[in-house]
Structure 1
Amino acid sequence: MSDADVILAPLSGTIHPLSDVPDPVFARGMVGPGLAIAPTGEGDVDAVAPLSGTIAKIHPHAFIVCASGVNVLVHLGLDTVKLDGEGFTVHAATGDEVEAGQPLITWNPRDIEARGLSAICPVIFMETIAAIEHLVGDGEQVSGGAPLARATR
C-alpha cells in the first residue's frame, strides 16, 4: 500500500456506517458511499485533508479534496450550513493544492451540539473510480490523520 492510496481520517472519533447518519441524503448513500465519524474530544478540532490533492470546493462546514480519481467529501456536522460559517475557521481555498493531513478547517463539535445540531461527520467517496476498502470498522476509534481507508485501482 503506497501513501498515495491511503485516505486519512479527517478528524478523531468513532466510526459509524452511513446508515446511522440522521440525514436521509447521507444515510441512503445518495451523495455516494462512505462512512461517518462521530467526533470525540473537547474544544477546537482541526479537520484535515484526507489525501493530497486539490480542493475542489471548500465551505466553512464542508470540503471536497480530489486526487487521481478519488474524491472525498467531508461534511462537518449536519445542517451546519445554516450557521453561515459561524464557529468555523477556514484555512484553505477552493483550488488550493493540499497535503494529506494538512488542517483545512477548525471547528468545535461540542459547540455544534450545544446549538442542537448533530456533529456527526459524513466522509463520502464521491464519483470515485477506485475501489475503497475501509481500514477501520464500525464502532472503532480513529485518530485524525490516521489511515481510514485505502483506494485500489
Structure 2
Amino acid sequence: MFSQAMVGYGAAVDPPHEVIDAVAPVSGRLLKLMPHAYIVMTSENVGVLVHLGLDTVALKGVGFCAHVAEGDTVIAGQTVITYDVPAVVAAGLNPVVPVVVMDEREPGNVVVGDSVAENAVIASGSALFTATK
C-alpha cells in the first residue's frame, strides 16, 4: 500500500531500535488518532499520515502510548505517540515509519529532503520532504 503510493507520496524512516517519541510532522489538527498511526490536517487542508511500522494494527495498541487526543491541535515536533520499536521488532514486524501526504497522486508534488535522498541518518525535526501541492 505504501510502496505503491496508494495512500499518497512521502518518505519512510527506519527508526532507531529503541523507544522513541513519534512527533507531529506539521502543525494542525489531529484528524485521526489510532494507537499505531495518526493524521495531522494542516490549516491548508493537507493531511499528513504517520504510520508507525508496517502491519502494526495487528498489535492492537501494544507498544504505543498516545500523548494527545483525536481532534487536538498539535504543533510540528510535538510528541504524539511514544513508539516501542523493540516491541514491534520482537513481534516480527517491520518498524519502518511511512510519512505521506494523503491523497497526493502526483509524485512530482512531493520533493524529498536531502537527508532522505542521500539515505543518511535523519535528525529529529529535519525536513523529510516538501509538498508543493
Question: TM-score, normalized by length of structure 1?
Answer: 0.76
TM-superposition CA deviations, 1:50-101 (whole Å, max 9, x none): 0110111011100000111321101000111111111110011111110000
Tell me the residue number matched to 2:28.
53
Deviation, 1:121, is: 1.0
Match of 2:52 among 66, 76, 84: 76
Cα RMSD (Å) of the superposition? Answer: 1.9
Deviation, 1:43, is: 2.7
Tell me the residue number matched to 1:148.
128
**Is residue 127 from structure 1 mapped to residue 103 from structure 2 by the alignment?**
yes
**Is residue 30 from structure 1 mapped to residue 6 from structure 2 by the alignment?**
yes
Deviating above 6 A after TM superposition, structure 1's stretches of 4 or more consecutive aligned residues are none
Deviation, 1:148, is: 1.7
Q: Gaps spanning 5+ residues in structure 1: where?
A: 1-24
Among all aligned residue pairs of Structure 1 and Structure 2, give the percentage whose two residues are the same amino acid. Answer: 44
TM-superposition CA deviations, 1:123-144 (whole Å, max 9, x none): 1111359932211315222112
Verify the 8 A CA contact 1:71 1:128 in the aligned structure 2.
Answer: no
Match of 2:75 among 99, 102, 111: 99
Output the CA distance in 2 between the equivalents of 1:62 and 1:129.
21
2:110 partner letter:
I
Secondary structure of 2:69 counterpart = coil
1:145 partner letter:
G
Output the CA distance in 1 between the equivalents of 2:73 and 2:94.
30
The alignment covers a number of residue pairs equal to 128
Question: TM-score, normalized by length of structure 2?
Answer: 0.87
